[in-house]
Amino acid sequence: MTTLSELAQVVRSKNTSPFTYSLDIMFREKADYLRFKSLQLVNASLVARLYGVPESRVLDVIYFDPALAIKICLPREISSGAPGDRDVYGAQQHAPLLLWEFELPDAPGGGQSRNSPLPTP
């Protein structure tokens, strides 16, 4: 099993507005990024499972070739700075991505990934 922290140089989250945040995955190696992209390993279905939300709440999953990056956009449960908000900067939302374990095929088209996230609290 593999985790994103083994392949990505950066896995982070941050506010994109008071009502949304983004998850960013930036890969170290072009080959790893291209494998993820060709197999669409990170998609709305996976994000919905990892974050315990309906797939319709995943606003976007963007593969951005120039940065070898994937950007995911999700709505915040509570707007930034509102009473009850525990992460005003949206900087603590990437943990489910870091805990995700998967099998990575050797080559594009060489098999299916088992998108089996660890149980989330």
pLDDT digits (tens, 9 = 90+) for 53-95: 999 999 999 999 999 999 999 999 999 999 999 999 999 999 9
| 91 part of a folded domain | yes
- Select from 77, 10, 74 the least CA-distant residue to 44: 74
Tokens standing for residue 54: 């309906």
61-64, Cβ contacts within 8 angstroms, sequence gap of 24 or more: 63/33, 63/36, 63/37
| 44 part of a folded domain | yes
**CATH code of residue 77:** 3.30.70
Instruction: Give the angle subtended at the CA of 76 by the CAs of 36 and 34, to the nearest 5°.
Output: 10
| 110 part of a folded domain | no
Domain of residue 22, residue span:
2-102
Residues 104 and 101: their CA atoms lie apart, in Å, by: 10
| 118 part of a folded domain | no
Three-class DSSP labels, 43-56? CHHHHHHHHCCCHH
Domain count, the chain: 1
- Select from 105, 101, 104 the least CA-distant residue to 46: 101
| 76 part of a folded domain | yes
| 66 part of a folded domain | yes
Reported confidence tier of residue 107, pLDDT bands at 50, 70, 90: low
| 108 part of a folded domain | no
One DSSP character per residue, 81-100 reads: TSTT-S-TTSTT--HHHHH-
* pLDDT of 61: 98
Residues 41 and 100: their CA atoms lie apart, in Å, by: 11
| 117 part of a folded domain | no
pLDDT at residue 108 is higher than 70: no
What's this model's pTM, rounded to 2 decimal places? 0.84
